[in-house]
Amino acid sequence: MLEATTFSGFGRDATAWVTGLAADNSKAYFDRTRSKYEASIRDPLNALLHELAGEFGGQVKLFRQNRDIRFSKNKSPYKLNTYGIIFDRPKTPTGLYVSISAQGLYAGTGYYQMARDQLDRYRAAVGDEKNGKRLERIVADVTADGLDVVGEKLKTVPRGYARDHARADLLAHKDLIAGAMLPAGRALADRRAYDFAAKTWRAAEPLVKWLDSRVGKSTIPAQERSRR
């Protein structure tokens, strides 16, 4: 288990290490540069998440760098980003996500891979005139604050809704995530990365509150949620 320490920034070699991994995605490269990965990326990300969990509540999970290649045509052994989440937060099922890559630091939150029962409630709320218009205003406000609202979508509106529905784009969502990217640069090497993640999550709170109150957590067992 990694020790939680105070976050002071990512190492200067962080994005260069990821760029090197993209050029040579091999066990030989990873083993040769493991100490650089741990000192510049893994350990700072662990510290960042634990410190943010102290502010926002919840537990920390840092994901392994290895990819699961058992059922993938892409046999590259390592991910090109390192990421973790804060989960099991008080009063909300919503996790808080952070990822560092060659592009920079991404922070986001929202409802990812909604289960069937969540999608039913989400679509009913979006289709409702009052709740749907409220979500439209929230998305506009969050976007104006500099966040991107994204998520996997159907190619068209779900069955039972008119193709020309006023909120067709929102109805097509299967995920609804708000986040932003701090570009690679000097800000990653100091406390500005912490401030960025915290500011991003606070800016996304109206969207999360809408989702929590209209959608909420799934009651379907995890092993039965594969089909959406």
Q: Which pLDDT score is estimated for 226? A: 60
88 located within any domain = yes
CATH number for the domain harbouring residue 89: 3.30.1460.10
* DSSP reduced 3-state for 165: coil
Q: Which pLDDT score is estimated for 223? A: 72
227 located within any domain = no
Q: Which pLDDT score is estimated for 71? A: 84
Distance CA 110, CA 112 (A): 6
Q: Which pLDDT score is estimated for 111? A: 97
Range of the domain at 27: 14-220
2 located within any domain = no
Beta strands in 69-215 (DSSP E): 81-87, 96-101, 104-111, 148-150, 176-183
pLDDT digits (tens, 9 = 90+) for 46-99: 999 999 999 999 999 999 999 988 888 889 999 999 999 999 998 899 999 999
Distance CA 91, CA 214 (A): 14
How many structural domains is the chain composed of? 1
Q: Which pLDDT score is estimated for 88? A: 95
Q: Which pLDDT score is estimated for 72? A: 86
6 located within any domain = no
Q: Which pLDDT score is estimated for 3? A: 64
pTM for the whole thing? 0.93
206 located within any domain = yes
The parts of the chain modelled with pLDDT lower than 50 are: none
Q: Which pLDDT score is estimated for 175? A: 97
Nearest Cα to 200, choosing from 152, 151, 135, 142?
A: 142
Extract the tokens encoding 1: 């288990």
